[in-house]
Amino acid sequence: MFGGYTEGIIILLCINSIAAMGVSLLTGFTGIFTLGHAGYMALGAYVSSLLIMKAGMPWLAGIFLGGTGAMLVAWLVGIPTLKLMGDYYAIASIGLGEAIRLILENWQSVTRGARGVPGIPPYTTLPVALAFFLVMAFAMFCLINSRYGRAFKACRDDYLAASLLGFNTAKLRVLSLAISGFYCGVAGALLAGFLSFIQPIMFDMIKSTELTSVVVFGGLGSMSGTLIGTGIITLVTELFRPISQYRMLIYGAVIVIIMIFRPEGIMGQKELGKTFFRDLTRRLKPADKRHGGGVKR
Amino acid sequence: METVLQQVINGLSLGSVYALIAVGYSLVYSILLFSNFAHGGFLVIGGYICYFILRSIGGGIWIASLAALMGAGFCAVLTEKLAYKPIRERTNVTLYLLIASMGMSIVIENIFVIIAGGRFRALPPVIPTQPVSLFGIATTSMFDILSLVTAVVFLSGLQIFLTRTKWGLAIRAAAYDLRVAGLMGVNVNRLISIVFFTAGLLAAVGGIFLSVRYTLYPQLGLITIKAFIAAVIGGLGSLPGAVVGSLILGLAEMLTAGFISSQMRDLVVFLLLVITLLIRPTGLFGKDVKEKV
Q: How do residues B210-222 score in pLDDT, each as one tens digit?
A: 888 888 888 888 8
Best mutation target, B219, B226, B271, B277, to test chain A (most A CBs within 10 A): B277
> Which residue from A96, A205, A252 is facing B107, i.e. has the nearest CB?
A252
Grade residue A254 by pLDDT with cuts at 50, 70 and 90. Answer: confident
- Please identify among residues 91-150 of chain B the ones whose CB lies closer than 8 Å to any CB of chain A: 91, 93, 95-100, 102-107, 109-111, 113-114
Within-domain flag for B158: yes
The 3-class SS string of chain B reads CHHHHHHHHHHHHHHHHHHHHHHHHHHHHHHHCCCCCCHHHHHHHHHHHHHHHHHHHCCCHHHHHHHHHHHHHHHHHHHHHHHHHHHHHHCCCHHHHHHHHHHHHHHHHHHHHHHHCCCCECCCCCCCCCEEEECCCEEEEHHHHHHHHHHHHHHHHHHHHHHHCHHHHHHHHHHHCHHHHHHCCCCHHHHHHHHHHHHHHHHHHHHHHHHHHHCECHHHHHHHHHHHHHHHHHCCCCHHHHHHHHHHHHHHHHHHHHHCCHHHHHHHHHHHHHHHHHHCCCCCCCCCCCCCC
The total domain count for chain B is: 1
Q: What is the pLDDT at residue B153?
A: 93
Q: What is the pLDDT at residue B8?
A: 87
Cβ–Cβ contacts within 10 Å for residue A167, how many? 17
Q: What is the pLDDT at residue A293?
A: 42
Q: Between B290 and A238, where is the model more confident?
A: A238
**Domain carrying residue B114:** 2-120+142-220
Q: Per-residue pLDDT averaged across B32-57, rounded?
A: 89
Within-domain flag for B257: no
Contact B176, B44 (CB under 8 A): no
Within-domain flag for B127: no
Query: Does the beta-carbon distance from B225 to A88 stay under 8 Å?
Result: no
- Please identify among residues 253-292 of chain A the ones whose CB lies closer than 8 Å to any CB of chain B: 253-256, 259-260, 263
Chain B neighbors of A214, CB-CB under 8 A: none
Most confident listed range (A204-213, B87-96, B189-198): B189-198
Q: What is the pLDDT at residue B136?
A: 66
**Could you give the percent of chain A with pLDDT greater than 90?**
17
Query: Does the beta-carbon distance from A255 to B95 stay under 8 Å?
Result: no
Question: Could you tell me which chain A residue has the CA closest to the CA of B236?
Answer: A88
Q: Between B116 and A281, where is the model more confident?
A: B116
Q: What is the pLDDT at residue B261?
A: 78
Q: What is the pLDDT at residue A284?
A: 65
- Taking all residues of chain B, what is their mean pLDDT, rounded to a whole number? 86
Q: Is the pLDDT of residue B132 over 80?
A: no
Within-domain flag for B292: no
Q: Is the pLDDT of residue A83 over 70?
A: yes
Q: What is the pLDDT at residue A283?
A: 67
Residue A46, min C-alpha distance to chain B (Å): 19
Q: Between A92 and A231, where is the model more confident?
A: A231
Least confident of A84-98, A263-277, B153-167: A263-277
Domains of chain A, by residue range, sit at: 4-203
Within-domain flag for B269: no
Q: Is the pLDDT of residue A268 over 90?
A: no
* Chain B touched by A296 (CB under 8 Å): no
Q: What is the pLDDT at residue A246?
A: 80
Grade residue A296 by pLDDT with cuts at 50, 70 and 90. Answer: very low
Q: What is the pLDDT at residue A269?
A: 75
Q: Are strands B138-141 and B131-134 parallel, antiparallel or unpaired?
A: antiparallel
Q: Between B246 and A251, where is the model more confident?
A: B246
* Interatomic CA distance for residues B203 and B200, integer angstroms: 5
Query: Does the beta-carbon distance from B274 to A254 stay under 8 Å?
Result: no
* Interatomic CA distance for residues B24 and B204, integer angstroms: 10
Question: Could you tell me which chain A residue has the CA closest to the CA of B289?
Answer: A85
> pLDDT tens digits for A128-167?
888 999 999 999 888 888 888 888 888 888 888 888 888 8
Q: How many CA atoms lie within 13 A of A264 on its CB side?
A: 10
Task: Decide: helix, strand or coil at residue A117.
Answer: strand
> pLDDT tens digits for B72-90?
999 999 999 999 998 888 8
* Chain A touched by B17 (CB under 8 Å): no
Query: Does the beta-carbon distance from A95 to B98 stay under 8 Å?
Result: no
Q: What is the pLDDT at residue B287?
A: 67
Best mutation target, A111, A256, A262, to test chain B (most B CBs within 10 A): A256
Chain B neighbors of A92, CB-CB under 8 A: 232, 273-274, 277
- Taking all residues of chain A, what is their mean pLDDT, rounded to a whole number? 83
Least confident of A123-132, A271-280, B260-269: A271-280
Q: Between A243 and A40, where is the model more confident?
A: A40
Q: What is the pLDDT at residue A115?
A: 80
ipTM exceeding 0.90? no
Q: Per-residue pLDDT averaged across A6-34, rounded?
A: 89
Question: Could you tell me which chain B residue has the CA closest to the CA of A209?
Answer: B102
Question: Could you tell me which chain A residue has the CA closest to the CA of B274?
Answer: A92
* Chain A touched by B56 (CB under 8 Å): no
Nearest one of A83, A6, A40, A14 to A212, comparing CA atoms: A40
Query: Does the beta-carbon distance from A80 to B274 stay under 8 Å?
Result: yes
**Could you give the percent of chain A with pLDDT greater than 70?**
91
